[in-house]
Amino acid sequence: MSYLNVISFFGIFGLCAIAWLFSEDRRIVPWRVIAWGIGLQLILGFMVFQFEPTKAALEAFSNLLNVVFDAAEEGARFIFGRNSYMIAPLPRGANACAAPPIGLGQVAEGLCAVRITTIFALNTFPAVIFFSGLMALLENIGVIKVIVDFFGWIFERTMRLSGAEALSGSANIFVGIEAAIVVKPYLPKMTRSELCAILACCFGTAASSVLAIYVNALKATFPNILGHLVSASIMAIPACFVLSKILVPETEVPVTMGGLPKEPSRPRGSRDRDAVEERVEGSETGKSTTENSHEDSAENSHEPPLETVGSEVMQRVSPLDAAILGALDGVKMSVSIAAVLILIVGLVYLLNQFFAFLGTISFLNIGEIFKVVTLANILGFLFYPLTLLTGVAVDLGKLLQGIPDESWKASVIIGRRLLETAIPPYQELGRASLAGELSPRTVLIVSYALSGFAHLASVGIFVGGTIALIPSRRQDISELGWKALFVGTLATMMIASVAGVFDDGNPSIMGKKPQQVVPTSTPSPSLKPTVAPTSTPTSKPTSVSTTSPSAMPTPKSTSTGKPNASPNPVVSPSPKTLPSPKL
């Protein structure tokens, strides 16, 4: 364990201290939530990074999911063509066109032939569509429900959370704002602390449908990135609960404290989404809501069972229908992602151009100032203290000379997420990793720090979506939205610190094979192989021929790795008399 692991460990508590400084009531400290929340993260971190059985399972899981993405790519190639190319301008800042298999090089001045399936939209959105359909299929057959209920039970029993927020938090492992729909009947009666926790879990985790975009950006240098992204989503849930309960402490008694109320058994056809809502509303008045259901059961007993899909009540669909509907939802999500990226990246480009214009002003050397004060550097400066808490290596020598070191580059990449979403930063992280600008430890930590939806574009999505579910709590949700964004940001930095605690430099953590150490053939001073000549020299004796073969110097042996190799060999030793020394 190095000092960087120690910094990462204490960084976890430093992030809790930051949340406490901005708490609504610093007199209330949820010690049980803090202890169990951090403990769960450390247990999960140990299992992911250090425990060999779970490490092997994680690698197998990553390989399995990689096959899933290969299936999505196969479907995309079928639609768009396996060997289809398009003519595109030379990318901005590039000196040459891409070579095969990405492209065919330059076909005309300033024009390149690029494989269609390497374009961002055609390379990533098919995986989003396929994965969305796959998740809908797994949800239909009950796999997702088992996992969500398992983690919800753990969070509820260990941290003593309300049943609604524990269930919604565990659902965030796989989905985004859809997790709030799971507990829609209980949203109107939730406390401010519960609402903040649910929103924070949305910001602190990434939906499973967008994991393909992150994987494509890093899989070249981080083969196990997919498994780590899934583990990051799981670890982020207790991190969000810890920080949200510190920032907005619980001062009331939640309606679902002690668990969600069990639904009464009903005949087929009588299930609807308002049953639970009426039961929650009737819990205060003492009215029963089962009478009408029994009256309707006789009329509706012949109808197929109903279920809630996307907050709408519809007939239960077959697994294939569910997969198709999920794929169609993936199409909508892909269009939404494209629209948001076009808008956000365009706005950031305008801001960068504005700063570039300020850098050209020569009056009072204003331009020299704005050559340093750029949008990326401003965000990097804001996130630098948080980045240091994760345990990223710092090179003070470079910083004092004004040269960006690893910690500064990592901070700039993390800071970009606030405005640009996580997709461009992941792409920059992949580029910096391939270029050797960042160490594997830094790549690992930053990949965890970027794994959530803690950016401005999500504020409108999560806040607006939650207000649409419960318009009566519009004011509370609007106020808590920015606090939840702050919590989600701190939560992603906390799980990055957990990754820094358990990273020991083992290449297997990132899915890389350990390099085989090939023993050099240069003999050590204590191991000098003796050679018995079996033939007389075939060449004219030189100055070195007077020396015995066993003591013959071989000045080029260290460069060639073969101590007996020389341009003019003097002796021809027997093969059996040259055993390789065991070093």
Look over the chain and give the mean of its residue pLDDT values, rounded to a whole number: 76
- How many degrees, rounded to 5, is the angle at CA 246 between CA 261 and CA 441? 105
295 vs 279, 291, 306, CA distance in Å?
17, 7, 17
Residues 354-410 have pLDDT tens digits of: 888 888 888 777 888 888 888 889 999 999 999 999 999 998 888 888 888 899 999
So what's the pLDDT on residue 385?
94
- What lies within 8 Å, CB to CB, of 198 at 6+ separation is 165, 168, 169, 179, 180, 183, 190, 466
So what's the pLDDT on residue 7?
95
Give the pairing of strands 111-115 and 306-309: unpaired
- Summary count for the chain: helices (H), strands (E): 22, 5
So what's the pLDDT on residue 94?
67
Q: Any idea what DSSP says for residue 272?
A: -
Nearest to 37 by CA among 238, 193, 200, 196: 238
Question: Is the CB of residue 122 less than 8 Å from the CB of residue 202?
Answer: no
- What lies within 8 Å, CB to CB, of 376 at 6+ separation is 352, 412, 415, 416
So what's the pLDDT on residue 141?
86
313 vs 144, 180, 272, 310, CA distance in Å?
19, 16, 7, 8
So what's the pLDDT on residue 576?
43
Q: What's the pTM value of the predicted model, to 2 decimals?
A: 0.72
So what's the pLDDT on residue 560?
41
So what's the pLDDT on residue 371?
81
DSSP 3-state percent helix, strand, coil across the chain (nearest 5): 60, 5, 35
So what's the pLDDT on residue 340?
77
Q: Could you say which residues of the chain have pLDDT below 70?
A: 1, 82-86, 88, 91-95, 98-104, 114-120, 123, 177-178, 209, 259-316, 513-583
